[in-house]
Amino acid sequence: ELEATMMASSLSSSFIDANNAKPITEVFTIAFTANDIEIDFTILLALNEMTLGTIQLGSMLHTTNILPCLFSAIDKASFTGLALTVTDLVPPTMTGFLDRGIDQIMSSGATALFNMYEKALIRAMPNFFQLFVRDVINDYIDGVVSLLGKCPDTKPPMSGFVDFRDLFLDPDDALASGGSGDAPYGNVIPWIMDIIDDQLFSADESGQLSVNEL
């Protein structure tokens, strides 16, 4: 969606003197259609085995820490190759103009430009994606890895005994069962237990457990 503001020329050499005329603002949409699209890409993902091996288990017990901890072991992640080829482009369509005259002028101009440069666009598209788009995506990936690649050092309480109510149950259920309800061991194990309960120990309409169907 684009916005264009048009107004009469203020130059003294213009044929129409409309200095006091208000500018016209048009909001319109340009739609492109491409046929037979092929995308070829190669990805480099380099993991640091030493960093991966030093990740503390306590940090991985919290779902919010899983991605940051995994990202912290990434030394390099990038698209080493990205090529997009198109065999045919359909002339663009422009919609949304309030003025019919402007609509006709802009649509005719866009179609004329498209017919002039369609073949050049198709030839340039692979290099455009390989050079410009690939670099933009790689810069974004580097930013995400740098931002999220910090694994929190979270250690569960190791003194005393392990309260299985807090270990296996959701905080509300653990509190109702007499546990602390503070999720001291994270939320990954209760999440896994919920999946196991739903997939294996839930009853169907006849009262049979799902585990009996395995």
Q: Confidence band (pLDDT; 50, 70, 90) for 166?
A: confident
Q: Which helix (H) or strand (E) holds 34?
A: strand 24-47
Average pLDDT, the chain: 81
Using CA atoms of 44, 50, 53, 55 in order, give the dihedral in degrees to the nearest 10: -90
Q: Is the pLDDT of residue 28 over 80?
A: no
pLDDT score of 64 more than 90? no
SS3 90: strand
Cβ–Cβ < 8 Å for 153, 59: yes
In contact, 154 and 183? CB cutoff 8 Å: no
pLDDT level of residue 199 (50, 70, 90 thresholds): confident
As to burial, measured by CB atoms within 10 angstroms (0-12 exposed, 13-18 middle, 19+ buried), residue 72 is: buried
Residue pointed to by tokens 């899983």: 66
pLDDT at 80: 94
Give the separation between CA 42 and CA 130, rounded to whole angstroms: 11
**Once rounded to an integer, what is the mean pLDDT over residues 23-52?**
84
* Residue among 205, 158, 166, 162 nearest 189 (CA): 166
Burial 169-180 (b: 16+ CB within 10 A, else e): bbbeebeeeebe
**Which tens digit of pLDDT belongs to each residue from 138-157?**
999 999 888 887 888 777 66
165 backbone φψ class: left, alpha, beta (φ>0; ψ -120 to 50): alpha
- Which of 132-141, 184-193, 205-214 is predicted with the least confidence, judged by mean pLDDT? 205-214
Query: What percentage of the chain carries pLDDT values higher than 70?
Result: 77
Q: Find residue 88's DSSP bridge partners.
A: 35
Question: What local confidence, expressed as pLDDT, does residue 41 receive?
Answer: 93
For the sheet containing 24-47, what is the strand order?
Answer: 2-6, 24-47, 74-95
Residue 19: count of CB within 10 angstroms of its CB: 10
pLDDT in tens, 71-111: 899 999 999 999 888 888 877 777 766 566 666 777 777 77
Q: What CA–CA distance (Å, rounded) separates 70 from 148?
A: 9
So what's the pLDDT on residue 167?
87
| pLDDT tier for residue 134 given thresholds of 50, 70 and 90 | very high
Coil, strand or helix: which one is 75? strand
In which region does residue 160 sit, left (phi positive, over 0), alpha (psi from -120 to 50) or beta (all else)? left
120 or 154: which carries more pLDDT confidence? Answer: 120
